[in-house]
Structures are given as C-alpha cells and as structure tokens.
Structure 1
Amino acid sequence: MPATDLELLCDAARAAGRLALEHRSGDLNVVRKADDSPVTGADLAVDALLRNLLSAARPDYGWLSEETPDDAHRLSRRHVFIVDPIDGTRSYIAGEDTWAHSLAVAEDGEVTAAVVLLPMKDRLYAAARGRGATRNGMPLRASDAAALTGARVLATKPSLDARHWPRGVPDVRRSHRPSIAYRLGLVAEGRYDGMFTFRPSWEWDIAAGSLIAAEAGARASDGTGSALRFNNPHPQSDGIVAASPGIWQEIVARQGTDRAQRPA
C-alpha cells in the first residue's frame, strides 16, 4: 500500500489513465446529464475504478466525485477524496489530448495532496502541502509576472465580459483549455501568468489544481479573492483565480474595493 496520500493518488491516476485510454478504442456510450453536459462510459468506469482503489486504501476517508451521487456522510469525515474522473469530457469525446484526471485529498477543508494527469500528453502534475509541486517529477515554479496588462492568461471569453470588471476589463493575452485542472497545471509551470473564471466552480474541477498552482508559488483563491475551502455541503466555490502574486492582487482588486485584502 502506498505510504503517503500523494503516492496513492499518483498510482490511482496512472491506473485511471490506462483505463480511459482503453475505452477510447470502443463505443464511448455518450449520454447527456440533466444539465445537458456529456458523460461517457469511460467517465463512469474511471469513477468506479478510482473509488475502489482509493477507498480500499483509505476506508475512513470521505468521497466526493462528479460522477458519484453525493452522500452527506462525507461531511463528517476529516479527510475526503475529491475527484473528477475525466475533466474535459468534451475534449475526450472529440479525440483531443487536453482532458485530465483530477484527484485530491482534503483535510479539514484544505487540500493536502493533489494529482492532475493528462494521459495522452504523459504529463503528471503533483503536489503535497508544504512540499512544492512537480511535473513528471521535476519541480515547478509559477510565473513572477507583476502586471496584468499584457499578461498571458487562461480564461473563457465570458470571463472577460465587462460585467465582471467594474474597474475596467484588463488588456491581456487570452488563451483557453477545456480542462480547468489543466489550466491550473499550466499556471503552476509558468507557461501562463494566471487563470480565472467567475462562474461557480465545482470542487472536483479545482481542488487538485489549486494546490498544485499554490505549491508552485502562485496565489489561488475563489473569484472574489476569498480563501478556498473544500468538502462544503454544496461543493462549489465562487469561481477561481490562480496567478502570480502580483497579477492575482490586481485581478481581485479590479473586482471591488476590498477583495484584494482577503486571504487567498
């Protein structure tokens, strides 16, 4: 049995990647959820695999996953697995390579171990609280960019709508990736100066990536600048911002008069 939660998550993510790749060779069995988002047979198979592997190793941990009906029993647990079996299902269906597995452990509301794996890119981001972040075992360092103007950011077009920016829409160089977990990994490795979304964000999309970005030196918060907390009764945050410290400060400052003072 893996000695640490991080080792456990790495092993489980690799197993998930193998299974997801196997499913690509057959019928994807795509159906629509109530919110019209797609789910495939691979999403469900990976979810079942991860729950079996992780819960067997840590039976006292709670479980929160996009593809498992929520159980309030997790709220009584100090530790909880927070999992997105496939983040970027549309990318997976389209045959692209930017989908990911996102796995995290939260203790008393704070993420302590995290893994994001992109199987088709053979790219594994990992972090443990206080121990830094890595990509395929090599240390990561986030950007040290200090100015939002001209910064390289990952965001959807609606995230740059004027209604989100009462102090003026920033002039940035925008790119996008379908997987939020992958976006956070790219911030962690310094390829982008920041990422943000102001839509409500599910915990399974952001838990792993937020720790990886933070351990690489970025600041990560919800969309208002408030600290992220996990394993909530309703498992969503008020968006997410992750960026180099100077850019993070400017993003949240543009959202209102006092948000830049809130803890990240």
Structure 2
Amino acid sequence: MQEADRENIADLDLLVDAAKEGGQIALSYFGNNPRTWMKEGDSPVSVADIEVDEFLADTLRRARPEYGWLSEETEDDLSRLDNARIFVVDPIDGTRAFLEGRTEWCLSLAVVENQRPAAGVIYCPVRDEMFTAVIGQGAFLNGERITVGELDTLNGANVAGPKTLLDSQEAKASGLVYAPYIRSLAYRFAMVAAGRLDAGMARARARDWDLAAADVLLAEAGGQLVDMHGNRLLYNKSTTKHPALLASARGLFNKLQVMATTYE
C-alpha cells in the first residue's frame, strides 16, 4: 500500500470516529426544540449545529493541525487556500429536516487534497447509516460495499431533487419517477451512491461542505457528481459555491443532461 493510501485511510478512520461522536451530540438535541435562529440567506441554524461544529473543529484540527478548515458554521477567513489538505465539514446537513423531526439529516465530513476529495464520511445518526469512501478503495455503507444502480434508461428512473425539473414536459415524457424530497443534499447524493436512487439533482446554490464527502462516495461507487455540462467539481477555491449539479450512474448522465437547461 502506498503512503498516500495509508494517509487517506488514517484520515477516514479519524472522520468516522469524529462523526460518531458528533452524531451523539446532535442526537441529544434532536426532538428537544433546540434554540434556533436565522442566518444569512434565510437559512436556519441551531445550537446543535454550533456545538457539533465546535466539537468537530477541536477534534479534527487537533489531530491534524497542518490541515486547513472549511465548515458551514465557521467563518471562512480563506487561510485554507494555503493548505494542500483541508477538512470540509457540514456539522448538520439538512438542518430544516433536523428541526422538523425528520430522520434524513446527517453529518458530512471530508478531506480534500489539491481541490479534490480524498476521503469522506456521511453519517445519518437516526438511521444508523455510516457511508464511507477513500479514493481508490471503494465506497461502503456500514462496512458493506455499495455501487450505483445499473439503470441506463430514463423510463422508470427514480430521481430526487426540487420538483421544478420533474414538472417539465421533458421529464413527464421521459417517464422519470419523482422520489420524495430529501432535505439533506449530502444524504440525497449518498442514496444515489447506494443505488437507492438512480439520480439526484441540486440547484445552483450548493457549497463545498454539502458536496465533498458525497463526491468521493459517488466516484468510488461507480457514479459521478458533476455540473450539468459534465465537469467534475473542484473544492477549496476562493468561492465555495457550485452550479446546478447532477449525481448519477455514468450511463444516465447524457440522457439526463438534455434537461439541464430546465434545471439551471
């Protein structure tokens, strides 16, 4: 095993342990009406988000002080741009779901090296689902290997995303099946990696912390997370925003791409 592989696996082990402990902190607030307020962009944040973020920052940065840091709930000072490897974290992805008592919220943790994810974890505490992936080593759910679905036609394909796409005439004519909306974007894409969904989409507003862990998970499960023109995503840039996105098996991309202009 090469040194880079050993480093990535060690980082994955660190992410898994931190996600488990962070998940327990979040669960202590789940269903207990935690103090909540609105932040920029009319997005909710709770005391649970902040406490999990502080725990992850302390745990991960203490273990890897040479790594940079990017989190949804930490002010970004751009010092991360000087680091070849950084942590990219969303302490609770799907805060609205968390506050509503839904079960699909998760912790999304990744290590990004040279603008691409090298290791990632998506942990859904309520459902006890731990998705893990290291570049070149495969993708797993609770220790069992996962792969994207094998469907190569739009007719009958289960797709999750905002309903605007599936209300289009193109979507109706194609036979796409609209899956129930999943508020956590990371978990939505994890469902594609696990073959539970055939594709997942996102509007042009997702950030690095929503995507990095899901990106390596999809790649290692045989799928891809790309923009609507087929370009792979780059992370740890000065801007953390991304355009409209599509997660799917590679064989479905070209067929779904015809609806890109509707979705963008």
> What is aligned with 1:245?
250
8 Å contact from structure 2 (residues 9, 119) kept in 1: no
Deviations 1:161-196 (A, max 9, x none): 65xx9xx33431011211011111111111111111
Shift of 1:249: 2.2
Runs of at least 5 residues in structure 1 that lack an aligned partner in the other structure: 257-264
Aligned residue for 1:4, secondary structure, equals helix
Q: Which amino acid aligns with 1:196?
A: M
Aligned position for 1:6: 12
Q: Deviations over 1:110-157 (max 9, x none)?
A: 100000000000000000001000000000011011012321111111
Which residue number in structure 2 is paired with residue 21 of structure 1? 27
Name the % identity: 37
The number of residues matched between the two structures is 251
Deviates more, 1:22-31 or 1:12-21: 22-31
Residue 214 in structure 1 maps to residue 200 in structure 2: no
Alignment correspondent of 1:179: 184
Tell me how far 1:61 sits from its aligned partner: 0.6
Q: Deviations over 1:64-118 (max 9, x none)?
A: 1100011110011100111110001011111111100000010000100000000
TM-score (norm 1): 0.90
> 1 CA distance for matches of 2:86 and 2:165?
30
Q: How far 1:232 sits from its partner (Å)?
A: 1.2
User: How far off its partner does 1:254 sit?
Assistant: 4.3
Residue 111, structure 1, aligned to residue 92, structure 2: no
| Kept in 1: contact 2:203–2:244 (CA 8 A) | yes
Q: Kindly indicate whether the alpha-carbon contact (under 8 Å) linking 1:116 and 1:209 is maintained by their aligned counterparts in 2.
A: yes
- What is residue 70 of structure 2 aligned with on the other side? 64
Runs (4 or more) in structure 1 with deviation over 3 Å come to 159-162, 168-171, 253-256
- Tell me, in whole angstroms, the C-alpha distance in 1 between the residues paired with 2:208 and 2:228: 13
Letter aligned with residue 35 of structure 1: G
The corresponding residue for 2:5 is none
Cα drift, residue 214 of structure 1: 1.5
1:202 to 201, 204, 207: 207
Alignment check: 8 A CA contact 2:108 2:121 kept: yes
Determine if contact 1:159/1:198 at 8 Å carries over to the other structure: no
Helix, strand or coil: the match of 1:74?
helix
Corresponding position of 1:34? 40
What is the distance in 1 between the residues matched to 2:164 and 2:9? 43
> Would the aligned equivalents of 1:144 and 1:245 in 2 still touch at CA under 8 Å?
no
Q: 1:253 to 1:159 in 2, by over 3 A?
A: closer
Provide the alpha-carbon RMSD of the alignment: 1.7
Q: What is the CA deviation profile of residues 187-228 of structure 1, one whole-angstrom value per residue up to 9, with x for unaligned ones?
A: 111111111123221111111012111111112212332111
What's the TM-score once normalised by structure 2's chain length?
0.90
**SS of structure 1 residue aligned to 2:112:** strand
Whole-Å Cα distance in 2 between the matches of residues 42 and 5 of structure 1? Answer: 24
CA contact (8 A) 1:146 1:246 kept: yes
